[in-house]
């Protein structure tokens, strides 16, 4: 059986990873010179407490040597490895893993490593992982799973709202001009990840509840023929569980979906969004 690997940009829950034998190669979070998630763990609750106390975290992408070390250490775990990574439109990590994987395959000719850029992140990436697990556990071959996952990549969608865009601006994910939206009272940015895997701000909604409702409207507008592929809906938040529960209930009311995975987003994503992010991950006919 082939091995599935991801990065912590997927916000994969630790219990899910253990249950399904999924490893992560982590991007680092750096706060006051301390490097976390490279041997020193930083739980989400502690991270958001540090943010509230004024911490200014940054992140660092996976590098090729880090990827090579992982594969060297785990080379005997399987003959085939499938890495599902955060969008190249958000991080250079996928390219780094590919570089490291190519060197490992040259050294170990009998091993195969496939690196798939999910062109999304967080719960969109996690949604793709659940499908790869489903295919693997149903007995699909390595090549069959690769083909099926690649078909789904353009349809893994995110609908996101935050209170403002300053954290995203500081991390270089959106322009300073876009971040000025955050200065306008009660205006809440609505974000998506587009077909190139980059963040876009297609709407500005007045009021928090309306911005959460807009996520549901956007899902309905774009799901189309892919509605029936949503056997699980992902809902995540930074440090606002009540808003995530509100969104989950609204999605259930609108669509009748019964299976949800609700995640507390970790430091890698939270660094660039702050604690107010609420996000839905789902399959759609089109992202935008």
DSSP string, 207-263: SHHHHHHHHHHHHHHHHGGGGGG-SSEEEEESS-HHHHHHHHHHHHHHH----EEEE
Task: Say what the pLDDT of residue 176 is.
Answer: 62
**Alpha-carbon dihedral 114, 271, 179, 157, rounded to 10 degrees:** 40
Task: Say what the pLDDT of residue 67 is.
Answer: 97
For tokens 């050294």, the residue is: 107
For tokens 């909604």, the residue is: 205
User: Worst-scoring range by mean pLDDT, 28-37, 181-190, 251-260?
Assistant: 181-190
How far, in Å, CA of 202 to CA of 161, rounded? 11
Q: What proportion of the chain, given as a percentage, has pLDDT over 90?
A: 85
Task: Write the pLDDT tens digit of every residue in 142-197.
Answer: 999 999 999 999 999 999 999 876 666 655 555 665 656 555 667 888 999 999 99
Tokens of 246: 């509100």
How far, in Å, CA of 105 to CA of 122, rounded? 28
For tokens 């609750």, the residue is: 45
8-state DSSP, 98: H
Residue 288 has pLDDT above 80, yes or no: yes
Q: 41 by DSSP, 3-state: which?
A: coil
H or E stretch covering 237: strand 233-237
Confidence of residue 273 (pLDDT cuts 50, 70, 90): confident
Task: Say what the pLDDT of residue 284 is.
Answer: 98
Residue 39 has pLDDT above 90, yes or no: no
Tokens of 83: 């890495």
How far, in Å, CA of 246 to CA of 251, rounded? 9
Q: Which domains does the chain have, with CATH numbers?
A: 3-153 (3.40.50.10170), 155-283 (3.30.1180.10)
Q: 2 by DSSP, 3-state: which?
A: coil
Side-chain-side CA neighbours of residue 188 (13 Å): 20
Task: Write the pLDDT tens digit of every residue in 52-63.
Answer: 999 999 999 999
Contact between 132 and 84 (Cβ < 8 Å): yes
Tokens of 91: 């991080």
Phi, psi of 82 (to 5 degrees): -115, 115
The whole-angstrom distance between residue 37's C-alpha and the CA centroid of its chain comes to: 16
The whole-angstrom distance between residue 89's C-alpha and the CA centroid of its chain comes to: 12
Task: Say what the pLDDT of residue 188 is.
Answer: 87
């Amino acid at each position: 059986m082939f091995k599935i690997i991801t990065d912590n940009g997927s916000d994969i829950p630790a219990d899910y990873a253990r249950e399904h034998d999924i490893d992560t190669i982590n991007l680092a979070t750096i706060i006051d010179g301390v490097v976390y998630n490279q041997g020193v763990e930083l739980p989400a609750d502690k991270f958001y407490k540090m943010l509230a106390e004024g911490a200014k975290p940054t992140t660092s992408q996976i590098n090729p040597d880090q990827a090579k070390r992982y594969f060297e250490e785990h080379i005997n775990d399987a003959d085939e490895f499938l890495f599902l990574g955060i969008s190249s439109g958000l991080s250079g990590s996928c390219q780094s893993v590919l570089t490291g994987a190519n060197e490992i395959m040259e050294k170990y000719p009998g091993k195969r490593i496939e690196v798939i850029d999910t062109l999304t992140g967080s719960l969109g990436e996690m949604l793709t992982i659940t499908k790869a697990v489903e295919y693997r556990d149903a007995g699909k071959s390595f090549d069959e799973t690769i083909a099926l996952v690649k078909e789904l990549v353009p349809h893994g969608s995110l609908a996101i709202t935050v209170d403002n865009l300053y954290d995203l601006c500081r991390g270089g994910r959106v322009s300073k001009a876009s971040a000025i939206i955050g200065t306008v009272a009660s205006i809440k940015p609505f974000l998506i990840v587009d077909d190139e895997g980059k963040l876009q701000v297609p709407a500005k909604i007045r009021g928090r509840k309306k911005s959460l409702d807009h996520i549901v409207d956007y899902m309905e507008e774009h799901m189309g023929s892919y509605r029936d592929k949503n056997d699980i809906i992902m809902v995540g938040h930074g440090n606002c569980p009540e808003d995530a529960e509100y969104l989950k209930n609204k999605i259930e009311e609108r669509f009748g979906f019964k299976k949800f995975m609700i995640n507390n987003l970790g430091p890698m994503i939270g660094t660039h969004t702050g604690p107010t992010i609420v996000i839905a991950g789902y399959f759609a006919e089109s992202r935008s």
